[in-house]
Amino acid sequence: MVVALRAMEAILAAHEDDELRILVDDSFKDILGCAFPDESRFICYPRRQLHEDSLFSRIRTYFEFAKSLRSIEYDCALDMDGTVVSARLMRLARARRKLGPAFNKNKRRKIYTELIEMDQPTQHCFDDFSIMIDTLGLKPLSQNYYQFPPFGDMEQIAKLLGFSAGVAREAFLGSRIVVLHVCATKDYKQWGIAKFAKLADSLVEQGLSVIVVGAGAGERARIGQMFVLSKHRDEIINGHNKLSLVQLVTLLQHAKLYIGNDSGPMHLASASGVPLLALFGPTELVRWHPRVPQVRIVKGDALCSPDCQPEVCLRDYQCMSSLSVEKVQREVDRALSLIGRYNSFG
């Protein structure tokens, strides 16, 4: 979602007076409302209701959504996501012209009236959206990610995280917050949890306020394991399931540094203006690195084979496991030094 914000911004601006709608997952509704506060042309796909409600409620929700989506016949529909779900929604929509990325395979390609060719292996995912914008005849995008405007009040965030008023004031106003995200959707993207615990302890010993963020049942166990392994566990704030996406961005906008794996929160951090250290393993760096000036990419010392297959690595993910705490700590020290002088990596 974060990577697509520049494209959304360009489309909304170019069609200010047109009958335009942008269909987004309902989990992003609030954050898009903050990113585009004067914009009302978003339609929400009710993913949460379609997964969590009773069978009868899911059926009713789906038909109500489908009726709403098909209530307008559009001149053009653009699939910016290129997934199975987005392709199904394109099939459902009424549009004379349907554009989709050419990397959609097999039967999904037949849904579109036009395919947009992209060179996925050699270009950043941000460039996919630039090509889409060019296909629509719009102005080229800025080469950096969209940056969120200031979101909210830190006092509410402090209360949710359990800070006392005095500690919150000292931590937030003194800009001593380091945000850690220790999880990722794929196991091979995750730096060792014992290493994260050791790094967190080192940050605490440097006088920094460490906040670990995350959400969902899948991340609870890993975050809990980090706290078990940490010797300063009582001094680290556990923010698991305590913040909405909007509140997480607010926290990031007030933080001194973000450290995390290749994940969704990494991209949120990159759009929040916070300096960040992004820990990368076998992920395609050219395609997924945060395209912002305030990022430093940290990788292990082991080299992957040219035909790296992340899902079935034969080398036990040495590209990630070889990344030592000492190397990350050196990058942290360097980042903090540069932030102290220039308020960014410069």
- Tell me which of 38-47, 59-68, 166-175, 300-309 is least confident: 166-175
User: Domains of the chain by range and CATH?
Assistant: 2-135 (3.40.50.2000), 155-342 (3.40.50.2000)
Per-residue confidence at 281, pLDDT binned at 50, 70, 90? confident
3-state secondary structure of 116: strand
200 or 343, greater pLDDT? 200
Burial 242-255 (b: 16+ CB within 10 A, else e): bbebbbbbbbbbbb
In percent, how much of the chain has pLDDT > 70? 90
Q: Is the pLDDT of residue 106 over 60?
A: no
**pLDDT recorded at residue 165:** 55
Distance CA 321, CA 315 (A): 10
The pLDDT tens digits of the residues spanning 82-93 come to 888 999 999 999
Q: Is the pLDDT of residue 306 over 80?
A: no
The pLDDT tens digits of the residues spanning 265-275 come to 999 999 999 99
Q: Is the pLDDT of residue 168 over 90?
A: no
From the number of C-beta atoms within 10 Å of its C-beta (0-12, 13-18, 19+), residue 156 rates as exposed
Per-residue confidence at 257, pLDDT binned at 50, 70, 90? very high
Quote the mean pLDDT of the chain. Answer: 87
CA distances from 101 to 95, 106, 115, 293 (A): 16, 12, 6, 28
**pLDDT recorded at residue 139:** 85
DSSP alpha helices (H): ranges in the chain? 5-14, 29-35, 47-52, 55-69, 84-92, 125-135, 154-161, 165-173, 193-205, 217-229, 245-253, 264-270, 285-288, 318-321, 325-342
The pLDDT tens digits of the residues spanning 170-195 come to 656 557 899 999 999 988 899 999 99
The predicted model gives 238-264 an average pLDDT of: 93
The pLDDT tens digits of the residues spanning 109-133 come to 789 999 998 876 778 889 999 999 9
Alpha carbons within 13 angstroms on the beta-carbon side of residue 202 total 16
DSSP alpha helices (H): ranges in 230-313? 245-253, 264-270, 285-288
Per-residue confidence at 282, pLDDT binned at 50, 70, 90? confident
